[in-house]
Amino acid sequence: MAKTVLVTGASAGIGKATAIYLAQNGYNVYGAARRIEKMQDLKNYGIKPIALDVTKDESITVCFEQIFNQAGSIDVLVNNAGFGSEGAIEDVTMQDAKYQMEVNVFGAMRLTQLVLPKMRENNYGKVVNISSVGGKIALPLGGWYHASKFAIEALSDTLRMEVKQFGIDVIVIEPGGIKSEWGDIALESLVRVSGNSAYKEMVKGTEKGFRKTESNNSEPIVIARLIKKGIEANKPKTRYSGGSMAKPLLFLRSILSDKMLERLIMSQTK
């Protein structure tokens, strides 16, 4: 029997590439996202599109029950749905901050809660949480996004220790620069929130730096392959990183002091 996979955020970017790649490799894949109209082409790969708004508990429950009733279980959960809300901490409203956490953290953890009982019963399961290099390194003007990814890292570590006894693996994926709509959405929010505030010069430097490096970003398939590698490993690593600058940045994080790293980061925002 093919393993059943639920990939959230499957309408674009990493989520879409992962859904397609896993379907091409024999998995029974459900692709979930708010924009179901952007997933109709996934049907060509045998993927089943399903509507999901991870900020609404009713939507999460309906999505889970629909898959559970059709497939009997969700063997692999890929928590990929997310976005980057940018802006200086002083400028970002608490409403926007809470929404960032709802999408990137609470939605993922609620889905995880729903899939775990059947995974425990089956003594098998894979929970893949898409973090970021930004889950280890915080940049200026991205505080709430980084907070959400730091949270995913911590929750994954706790969950891994809790569910290992039931044959369930928890895997963190830390992408670097990836070609997707994520960057444009993040920059739009950055300019809207802080483009005319006391932080406007930092915004200009950040936008310039992003535009300078975006052509070097990796294709989403790089991360899709990492996810497949992780879920098929007998003893998966706790973390896999890939994409533009991911490994060099994580290496720098491991060897530099906080102040040295901050000086390096700030030099790139001028």
Active site residue 11: yes
Active site residue 131: yes
**Of 16, 21, 85, 131, which residue is the catalytic one?**
131
Token readout for 61 is 């429950």
CATH of residue 140's domain is 3.40.50.720
Output the DSSP codes for 176-187. Answer: -BB-SSHHHHHH
Tell me the C-alpha to C-alpha distance, in Å, between residue 239 and each of 57, 146, 176, 229. Answer: 28, 17, 13, 11
Active site residue 59: no
**Of 149, 189, 194, 240, which residue is the catalytic one?**
149
Q: What is the pLDDT of residues 127-164, one digit of tens each?
A: 999 999 999 999 999 999 999 999 999 999 999 999 99
Question: Which residue range is the domain that position 66 belongs to?
Answer: 4-267
Calpha distance 75→127 (Å, rounded): 9
Indicate the number of domains in the chain: 1
Active site residue 257: no
Read off φ and ψ for residue 65, nearest 5 degrees.
Answer: -65, -35
Token readout for 235 is 């003893």
**Of 21, 30, 145, 240, which residue is the catalytic one?**
145
Per-residue pLDDT of the chain (270 residues), as tens digits, is 799 999 999 999 999 999 999 999 999 999 999 999 999 999 999 999 999 999 999 999 999 999 999 999 999 999 999 999 899 999 999 999 999 999 999 999 999 999 999 999 999 999 999 999 999 999 999 999 999 999 999 999 999 999 999 999 999 999 999 998 888 889 999 999 999 999 999 999 999 988 888 889 999 999 999 999 999 999 999 999 999 999 999 999 999 999 999 999 999 887
Calpha distance 42→11 (Å, rounded): 9
**Of 3, 11, 132, 156, which residue is the catalytic one?**
11
